Structure 1
Amino acid sequence: MIVNYTADGWQIIYQQAHALLAAQLLHEWPAFLPLDKWVGLLAAVAQHDDEQPNWDGHYGLTPAGAPANFTMKEFSLEQAQGVLHSARFQGRWRSLLTSMHLSKLYETLRGDNKTTDTFLDEQQANQKRWIKQLNLQRVEAQQAYDLMHWCDRLSLILCRHELPEMSRSLEIYTGMDGQRYDVVRPAESGPLIVHPWPFQEKQFTVSIETSLLQQLQFKDDAELATALREAPIETLTWTLKSRI
């Protein structure tokens, strides 16, 4: 979960919903891949946070009983293996992109334990094999993955309310081509500006559903789960536009 503290309590965004927001952003990019690979990229983005493990004990809570933000949770090998397993049913291209994302997220954990190292080694081997089987160059795969990571990053910026105040810009991502993209909110309630503008349309709107919790502390996962099922839903929207 993505957990934001507000004046009224907790704003909860499921990670799967964040992924769907990332896919909305990708949908607005001009396609630069053949249809099958472009749709595969969309699928990889939309489903990259699936296979979240079931809450068990205090998996969904901090030690103080508050909803736990995903950044507070340890690496879940089960979730990583699950999302990769699901990707394989949609083919090698989807699997390749998902594997590259797992390497990007978790390569920094190398050396922590042998099990994680083995999983990371498997990703490197799988990626080399799939790139060869698909008759791709590594640079082609990296270009597609960079866009996946770009959309993931901007979605997280929006979901976590990370936009700076006073019209200051925030870097979204710099890809292998060296091009840096920034996002800025010129006015408190106005459209967001992405520069340079990469999208097809000059302006569009994206949205996500959130759950609102007024209760600040929970005794266990079951109580949190019940509260989330009964929580009111709010839709957040953002309009993005070109400077021109």
Structure 2
Amino acid sequence: MIVNLEQDGWQVIYHRAHALLAAQLAGQWRRKDAPPRLYETVAAISHHDDLEREWEGNELTRAGTPLDFTLEQGTSVEQLSEQIESSRYRGRWVTLMTSMHISRLTEPSRGTSKELDKFLDEQLELQQQYQKELEIPKEDVDAAYAFMQWCDRLSLILCQQKLPEDERALEVSKGPDGKRYDVIQFRDNRVTIRPWPFEDEEFTVNVETCKLSQVKFDSNTELREALQQAPIEVLEWTFEKR
């Protein structure tokens, strides 16, 4: 989960909610410049964090505070395999995008265990197999995954409250066209992307957050109950072409 410290406690955003925000952004992309198999790619974006089940695992730091995902110790090969298997229900394209995402995040850990190395090798084989079966050029597959990564990155910038102050630009990442895109928040709190990649000249996206007033917790059970009873706040961002 994404955890932001506030003056009156914690703001918690579930990873699946962050993924849904990424899908909202993807759905706004200019249609004529959209990557291949847009709707299936949006489905992959929306479900790419289905592995995260914040009510089931350990979500506390050693100090008893809610655990932000950047502090997590990693995910087991069993869990990663489960996510790949789950994505198969949505078809080969969604599985391909999910596999590429897991590969990108996990490849830096290659060499830490034989089990992980075997899993990573299997993902590369799966990606080659599905690309061949779907008869889609490698450059189109790469463009679609760059699009997925771009939407995921922008969603994280918003959820982690990382929009720069003073109308400064922050690079999101390269888009499916290979171009650099920057995000800027203006003093009126409206947001723009340069160059503008979206269909409409103005739109609003949102994400739901849980507000926790309790700072520390004695157990995951206590945190889970607090999250399930916490007030919900909707965060909104209005994007505008400027």
Smaller-chain TM-score range? over 0.9
Q: Partner letter of residue 20 of structure 2?
A: L
CA drift of 1:186 comes to 1.9
Residue aligned with 2:196, SS: coil
Q: Tell me the TM-score normalized by structure 2.
A: 0.94
- Cα distance in structure 2, aligned partners of 1:168 and 1:229: 37
Contact map agreement 1:52 1:79 (CA 8 A) in 2: no
Distance 2:104 2:148 in 1: 11
Q: In the alignment, which residue of structure 1 is the partner of 2:140?
A: 140
Aligned to 2:61: 62
Deviation of the 1:155 alpha carbon: 0.2
Using the TM superposition, give the Cα deviation of residue 51 of structure 1 relative to its aligned residue in structure 2, in angstroms. Answer: 2.4
Aligned to 1:227: 226
1:135 alignment partner AA: E
| Contact in 2 for aligned 1:53/1:79 (Cα 8 Å) | no
* Kept after mapping to 1: 8 A contact 2:145/2:176: no
Return structure 1 stretches of 4+ with deviation > 6 angstroms.
Answer: none
Shift of 1:193: 1.2
Matching residue of 1:72: 71
* Structure 2 counterpart of 1:83: 83
> What is the Cα deviation at residue 71 of structure 1?
1.0
Query: 1:223 Cα deviation (Å)?
Result: 0.2
SS in 2 for 1:79: helix
| Counterpart residue identity of residue 226, structure 1 | E
Please list, as runs of the form range in 1=range in 2, the aligned pairs for 1:5-84 lying within 5 A after superposition: 5-31=5-31, 32=34, 37-53=37-53, 59-77=58-76, 78-84=78-84
Report if the CA contact (8 A) 2:14-2:54 is conserved.
no
RMSD: 1.5
* Structure 1: segments with no counterpart, 5+ residues: none
Q: From the superposition, tell whether residues 239 and 53 of structure 1 become closer, same or farther in structure 2 (CA, over 3 Å).
A: closer
Amino acid at match of 1:194: I
The Cα of 1:101 is off from its aligned counterpart by: 0.7
CA contact 2:35–2:147 (8 Å) conserved in 1: no
8 Å contact from structure 2 (residues 19, 152) kept in 1: yes
Aligned length: 239
- Counterpart of 1:126 in structure 2 is 126
Structure 1 Cα separation of the partners of residues 203 and 29 of structure 2 = 11
Q: 2:204: which partner in 1? A: 205
Displacement after TM superposition at 1:228 (Å): 0.5
Which stretch shows the higher mean deviation, 100-109 or 209-218?
100-109
Gaps of 5+ in 2: none
